[in-house]
A and B are shown apart, each in its own frame.
Chain A
Amino acid sequence: MNKLTIIEKHSRILRWTHWLNFLLLLLMMWSGILIYWADQAFLPIPKLWAERLHLNNRLAEGMGWHFLIMWPFTINGIIYVTYLIISGQWRREKYQSAQKVAYFLVPLLGAGTIISGLAIYKPVQLGWLTELLGGYRMSRYIHFAVMAGLLLFIIIHVIQVIRHGWNNFRSMIAGYEIEKD
């Protein structure tokens, strides 16, 4: 019988949290843009985009989604990072640069969205945090910039994944990579 050697690359927990995170982040970015539309302080959203993508006049809805999804997004993120630390997966030397960036920079950016988000969400109760980040307006800048950083990462990440091919991509779905002799 034909036997293959496979490498168990990504555990089940890692795969589930990765894909759940992707969908939750998508919802966070979408609802965040619905909120941002109401006061486009840093970068104007082109009118045509706003109309075509129905991003206009949906502030209340955007806030509703943003403050609901923030919970599973945060919890899922904590599970993901805790798992990386406990399992020691982040220490693997085999990993290519893309994965190293993913493991080190992305959790930091993720934490950045949550911290700067809290500074905007509760600027009185967490007033010390808002002031630490340079005030309310600066917190909004930071929140936006960190989000843009995550978006940039996603774009680079997707390009890297396409370049690495199916064997690599499959490992994030089924967990294994087939070893080439």
Chain B
Amino acid sequence: MKLKKIKITSRKLRYRLTTSIFLGVLFLITFGAIFWHIQKGPELDGTPKLLRYSFLWNEKVWMMLKSSKRMSVDKPVPKKGEKFRVNGSLGLREAFYPENYFVKVNNGREPAELSISAFKLLPKTNYSTDFRCIEGWSEELHYAGVRFRDFMEYYNVGKKPDGKYYAYVGLETPDRRYYVSLDMESMLHDQTLLAWEINGEELTTEHGAPLRLVIPIKYGIKSLKRIGKIFFSDVQPPDYWAERGYDWYSGF
């Protein structure tokens, strides 16, 4: 390809350069102004409004592409009892007494209190996959517990009187200091567990004993430890990190 050559007066050329520089500066100022406007403008749940809308838009795009239907890839089973990273003690500061521990389950109709054995008698599911923290690190872990789906079916919770699922599930720690909410589609996922074992051993207190959520299709912030209450709603329940600027969906 040949480059085009033309003859031009120096006056016309000066005009062309001036116009280009002017447009360039205008472009820079506009770009900077848009950035500043987003960054310093009003916030929605701890993040600039446009960034919040961007999270919601991305959520729509990936939900449309069925991101909550795929499986988190299987990984080799780690050694039994292998130690793993402790991160976050929100909601775990109160003393924990296993003998009188009950999980409140609220279906919107009749609330129930379930002991841990009420969960352990349900069909046990186990698998190994990556645990991915929103900070960036990841670990291969082996989980065992009951599928959330199986739990809902066995105790007949999660559905409205008309037989349809509620849109959201909310979970909180007994002291209510940490709480998450999730979309029903993700909670029905095959790998979403109410777990009592990791790497072949009972959960320790710092890892969320006696029962924790494990949802590997989302960032670790959603896998709430030491479940105190499970409830269902059509209104999105509060979510600790989503109130602090993070993406509510946080799904892979």
Contact = CB atoms under 8 A, between A and B. Distances in A.
Q: Give chain A's interface residue range (CB within 8 Å of chain B).
A: 35 or more
A124 B54 contact: no
Contacts, number: 134
Interface in B56-90: 58, 62, 65-67, 70-73
Nearest to A123: B252
Given A39-B136, A60-B246, A137-B138, A9 B3 contact: yes
Residue with the greatest number of chain B CB neighbours at <10 A, chosen from A35, A87, A124, A136: A124
Interface string A60-89: 110111011000000000000000000111
A48 interface: no
Interface string B46-58: 1110111011001
Main secondary structure of the interface of B (DSSP, over half): mixed
A27 interface: yes
B137 A41 contact: yes
A39 B16 contact: no
A5 B62 contact: no
A149 interface: no
B249 to A, nearest CB: 11
Main secondary structure of the interface of A (DSSP, over half): helix
Contacts of A170: 17
B244 interface: yes
Contacts of A65: 51
A130 interface: yes
B5 A8 contact: yes
A5 B35 CA distance: 40
Contact of B10 (A2, A9, A136, A140): A2
Given A4-B8, A64-B48, A173 B24 contact: yes
Interface residues of B, number: 54
A4 B252 contact: no
Interface in A153-181: 170, 173-176, 178-179
B167 interface: no
Interface string B129-150: 0101111111000000000000
B9 interface: yes
B7 interface: yes
Interface in B216-252: 216-217, 241, 244-247, 251-252
Residue with the greatest number of chain B CB neighbours at <10 A, chosen from A5, A63, A87: A63
B130 A123 contact: yes
A139 B19 CA distance: 44
A125 B51 contact: no
B67 A125 contact: yes
A174 B217 CA distance: 49
Contact of A61 (B5, B35, B67, B245): B245
Given A23-B31, A65-B51, A91 B5 contact: no
Interface of A: 1-9, 19, 23, 27, 35-36, 38-39, 41, 59-61, 63-65, 67-68, 87-89, 91-92, 94, 121-125, 127, 130-131, 135-137, 140, 170, 173-176, 178-179
Given A6-B13, A23-B28, 8 more contacts: A4-B10, A27-B35, A36-B136, A122-B67, A124-B70, A173-B24, A174-B17, A174-B20
23 contacts: A6-B5, A6-B6, A7-B4, A23-B28, A35-B136, A38-B136, A61-B48, A64-B51, A64-B247, A91-B1, A92-B3, A94-B3, A122-B67, A123-B72, A123-B132, A124-B70, A124-B251, A125-B65, A127-B71, A131-B73, A140-B136, A173-B24, A174-B20
